[in-house]
Structure 1
């Protein structure tokens, strides 16, 4: 309607004013329903054509969409292990900080594993004490074997010397027995040394390794026990947290709830524009938004990025062929950020919005190589953006009335 009224100023109104005041024609006599159509037919047709052209120009170079929303990311609250809820630490809706315990799972199995690991560690400590005693015992046995060996060796040396000085004074059988005894004492020394080395190896290598394994098992059991405490990964707020003791939660099939990170939905607005506007939408374009949750407010914004892919065309490899006729036409997704730092502070996350983007040709117009006609056309394109801005403000003004009064709710 606004475009039609604007176009009529250049077609119908001048024609009517000329016939009414220039030619002196009057309503009900010379100016009738038939004469209006017959005499103003060129103006009416021109007005309609100019209106259609103006609407096309406005909506193409200054795209608008009602498919805009302040999307926000959520973090599912899931435990690392399945289990039964033992205690819930937060309310149905509550703010939380990173590391806050949200709920705990039944940990009887994990506590038993920790106790078993602790007892295994204590058992290894006791074996280490016993092994040290065995080392002491082996050293004593080695010392005794050395003493016995030295005694037998001395006796063998004495009798061997007597036999050398006075042959036949010592029976050869006694010397052979002493030699056997010396060899046996040497074997006892070797056995004692092996026993001591085995005990020392057990003290210095085997039992410390078992101790490390026991401590690792204890640490693993502690980790499994810590998994029964489900904590918040980020600062934020839990909403609709209806988990109760006795519920079963599973990381793959049944999350416990949703955590909304702090500041989610306060940084950028996502808007889906028509595919025909893909060549017009560019990062850096100025835009305006009017959101339902903050009526009568226009938020200045800027397009920061435009997605190069349309979500309607995505597919995954599978066993079915793709039929393009069944695909729904998608939109060009653009990301917008407020010009002011706190531009989205009052907008409720998830709110639906109306977004207008405006084409600016200032740099092209200011360029020296731009001709006069080309510059005039670009000036006209930039100027008609005011019409779209007025429409957005009218929509923002009528939004509460349309929602509260005319919707029928």
Structure 2
């Protein structure tokens, strides 16, 4: 409507003034409801063409969207394993801080695992003390076996010496028997040494490894026990938390609730039509108005433009995708931040807004060698942004009335 009024001021109005003052045609006589379409045909035709051109220019070079939202992230309250709730510590809409307990699962199985691992460590420590005693016993057996071997060696040396001096003084059988006794004693020494090495290896390697395994099992059981206590990962407000003792929660099927982190709206995500893909650029200045902050226009700036359209995404499945499934056009996603610090502090997270973005040709106008016609066109494009800014302010004025009165929402 505003565009039509502006265009009629330079088309229909001059045509009417010419008809009235130059041709003497008056409203109600020569110019009536039935003849006005013919009498002012040039002005009406030019007004329609100019209005369509103006609206196209405004909405192309200064895009607008009603799909601007201050998106925010929520944290799902989930345990790391399924279980039955034993106790809850918070209620619905309660503010919590990071690390504050939310609820606890039944931990009888985890405590039993900790007790089992603790007893295994105690058992291994007792086995270590027994092995140390066995090592002392093995050392004594070595001493005993070496003594027996020395005695057998001395006995053999004496008989061998007698045999050497006087072959008839002792029988050869007795010398051979003494040699066998020496070999047997040496075998006993070797066996005692092997027994000691086995006990020592058990003390130095086997039992420490078994204790390390038991300690790892204890640590694992302790981690499982700690996981039964679910705490808040960040400061925020607990929402949709209706757990009671006895309820079963499952990280895959049944979450416990939602935690909304404490954050202010620091930006907006806006979706513009795909026809604006060549216009929306990082650094563009814009304005937004939100129903949550009535009668307020907030200046913003485009900080990022997503280079893909979400509606065209695919992921591997067991079915071949048909192109017609992507017929619904998506939008160009842009991130808009307040131009001045704290501009969106009063805006609740998740609020929907109406956003404008304005094309600026300031740099192009200051380039050397720009032609007069080109400069005029660029000036005209920048000037049409005033119309869109006025429309946005008109929306900011009408929006509360439309919401509360015309839509019957109050």
TM-score surpassing 0.5? yes
Matched residue pairs, number? 408
Q: In 1, distance between residues paired with 2:24 and 2:327? A: 61
2:142 corresponds to: 142
Q: How does 1:11-160 map to 2 (within 5 A)?
A: 11-20=11-20, 27-29=27-29, 31-34=31-34, 36-160=36-160
Q: In 2, distance between residues paired with 1:37 and 1:158? A: 150
How far does residue 287 in structure 1 lie from its aligned partner after superposition? 0.9
Partner of 2:109, secondary structure, is helix
User: CA offsets per residue over residues 81-123 of structure 1, 9 Å max, x none?
Assistant: 1111222222212333333332222111111111111111110
Determine whether 1:234 maps to 2:224: no
Unaligned runs of 5+ in 1: none
How far does residue 20 in structure 1 lie from its aligned partner after superposition? 4.9
Greater Cα offset, 330-339 or 23-32: 23-32
How far does residue 171 in structure 1 lie from its aligned partner after superposition? 5.0
Whether contact under 8 Å (1:142, 1:189) holds in the other structure is yes
Whether contact under 8 Å (1:313, 1:327) holds in the other structure is no
Partner of 1:9, secondary structure, is helix
How far does residue 172 in structure 1 lie from its aligned partner after superposition? 4.8
How far does residue 130 in structure 1 lie from its aligned partner after superposition? 0.2
Whether contact under 8 Å (1:142, 1:192) holds in the other structure is yes
2:3 corresponds to: 3
Greater Cα offset, 356-365 or 340-349: 340-349
Determine whether 1:286 maps to 2:265: no
How far does residue 162 in structure 1 lie from its aligned partner after superposition? 4.6
Unaligned runs of 5+ in 2: none
2:267 corresponds to: 268
Q: In 2, distance between residues paired with 1:324 and 1:174? A: 108
Greater Cα offset, 370-379 or 87-96: 87-96
Whether contact under 8 Å (1:310, 1:332) holds in the other structure is yes
Q: In 2, distance between residues paired with 1:239 and 1:186? A: 81
Q: In 2, distance between residues paired with 1:328 and 1:195? A: 81
Q: In 1, distance between residues paired with 2:267 and 2:35? A: 56
Determine whether 1:314 maps to 2:313: yes
Greater Cα offset, 97-106 or 119-128: 97-106
Partner of 2:295, secondary structure, is coil
TM-score by length of 1: 0.92
User: CA offsets per residue over residues 310-356 of structure 1, 9 Å max, x none?
Assistant: 22222334424414277222222111111122122111111110001
Partner of 2:40, secondary structure, is helix
How far does residue 204 in structure 1 lie from its aligned partner after superposition? 1.0
Partner of 2:220, secondary structure, is helix
User: CA offsets per residue over residues 35-67 of structure 1, 9 Å max, x none?
Assistant: 544432222222222112111111111111111
Greater Cα offset, 295-304 or 93-102: 93-102
| Cα root mean square deviation, aligned | 2.3
2:354 corresponds to: 354
TM-score by length of 2: 0.92
Q: In 1, distance between residues paired with 2:158 and 2:325? A: 115
User: CA offsets per residue over residues 173-209 of structure 1, 9 Å max, x none?
Assistant: 5444433333332222122111111111111111111
Q: In 2, distance between residues paired with 1:354 and 1:269? A: 10
Q: How does 1:382-401 map to 2 (within 5 A)?
A: 382-401=382-401
2:329 corresponds to: 329
Q: How does 1:289-308 map to 2 (within 5 A)?
A: 289-308=288-307
Q: In 1, distance between residues paired with 2:79 and 2:375? A: 63
Q: In 1, distance between residues paired with 2:79 and 2:305? A: 36
Greater Cα offset, 91-100 or 277-286: 91-100
How far does residue 360 in structure 1 lie from its aligned partner after superposition? 0.6
Whether contact under 8 Å (1:101, 1:232) holds in the other structure is yes
User: CA offsets per residue over residues 208-264 of structure 1, 9 Å max, x none?
Assistant: 11111111111122222222222333343322222222222222222222223332x
Question: CA separation of 1:184/1:78 partners in 2, compared to 1, >3 Å: closer, same or farther?
Answer: same
1:341 corresponds to: 341
Greater Cα offset, 62-71 or 85-94: 85-94
Q: In 2, distance between residues paired with 1:160 and 1:36? A: 152
